[in-house]
Amino acid sequence: MTPILAIANQKGGVGKTTSAVNLAASLAVAEARVLLVDLDPQANASTAYGVDKRSLEHHVYDALVGRRMLRDVIISTEVEGLDLAPTDQDLVGAEIELVSETERDTRLRDAIATIADDYDVILIDCPPSLGLLTINALTAATGVLVPLQCEFFAMEGLSQLLGTLDRVQATRNRSLNLMGILLTMFDRRNRLSFQVDKEIRSYFGPVVFETRIPRNVRLSESPSFGKPAILYDVAAAGTLAYLDLAQEVLGRLERDEQNSPNNQPTTPQEVNS
C-alpha cells in the first residue's frame, strides 16, 4: 500500500507548504517516486514549482468534483521522480460545491486510489484550516505530518487538530496515524527555540522527528524562483535539513511496513499516554 502523508496544521505560518515542497523534492532525490498533491487553494506549493496557474487546463478541483481523473491533472516537475497535482484558487469553490454531495469526504481518497500504485510516496499539502478539504486529505491519508514552529504559540490549536485526527480515525479512516511532528523555524541564536524543542519532545516523545528545520533565507527565497530549495541552493542549511528529514521519513515508513499488518495506528491518545 502506497503511504499517503497529509502535511497538516490549521495554524498558518508554521512552514507547512515549505515542508511539503521540500520534503517532496528530497524524497525524490532519495530515489522515491513521489506525487505532491496541492490541496491548498492558495496554491503556494504549485507556485513553488514554477506553475503558471493561468495556464493550467486542469487542476485538483476538477478531480474532486468528478470532471477529470486525477491522472489528467498531474504534471511533471524539474525534480526527477517528482510529479505534482497542481491547484488554483478555484479550489475554494470545491468546499461549497461538495457540501451537499454524498461521499463528499472521500472524493480525494477515491481520486488518489486510481494512481496510487504509480508512486512510492504521496504527499498532500493541506490548507490551513480544518474544513472539508482537510477532512478529505485526512480520509485519504495513511499518516499525518504536523509542522510546528519553534515559537511561543507553537502548540496553539494543536489539541484541536489532534481531536480532528481522532474523529477521522474513528469514523472515516481506521488506518490514519500521527506519523510525526516536525519542528520548523528553529533558530540556534534564540533560547526560546530550545525551550520549545524541549517542551514538545517532553510531551510527544519519539513521534517528534530528530531533524529540526532551521530558519533559513535560502528556503524563503527559493519559491520566488519557482524551485524547491534543492534546485536553488543544494548546500543551504534548510536544504540539508529536508534531505535529513527525507531519510527519517523513509525510515519510519519502512519500519511501519515491516510491522504491518500487526502494527496499530498511532493515535493522539497513545502519543499523550
pLDDT digits (tens, 9 = 90+) for 129-171: 989 999 999 999 999 999 999 988 878 778 889 999 999 999 9
Q: Grid coordinates in use for 24?
A: 517532496
Between the alpha carbon of residue 270 and those of residues 177, 203, 265, 273, the distances in Å are: 10, 12, 9, 5
> What does pTM read for this prediction?
0.93
Count structural domains, the chain: 1
Which residue ranges in the chain fall short of pLDDT 70? 261-273
Task: State residue 265's pLDDT score.
Answer: 46
- Per-residue cell: 1: 500500500
Distance (Å, rounded) from C-alpha 216 to C-alpha 182? 16
Return the pLDDT at 262: 46
Domain that holds residue 20: 4-272
Concatenate the DSSP letters of all residues of 171-216 into one string. Answer: HT-TT-EEEEEEEEEE-TT-HHHHHHHHHHHHHHGGGEEEEEEEP-
Residue 110's CB is within 10 A of a number of other CB atoms, namely 16
Separation CA 99–CA 169 (nearest Å): 20
CATH code where residue 82 lies: 3.40.50.300
pLDDT score recorded for residue 155: 80
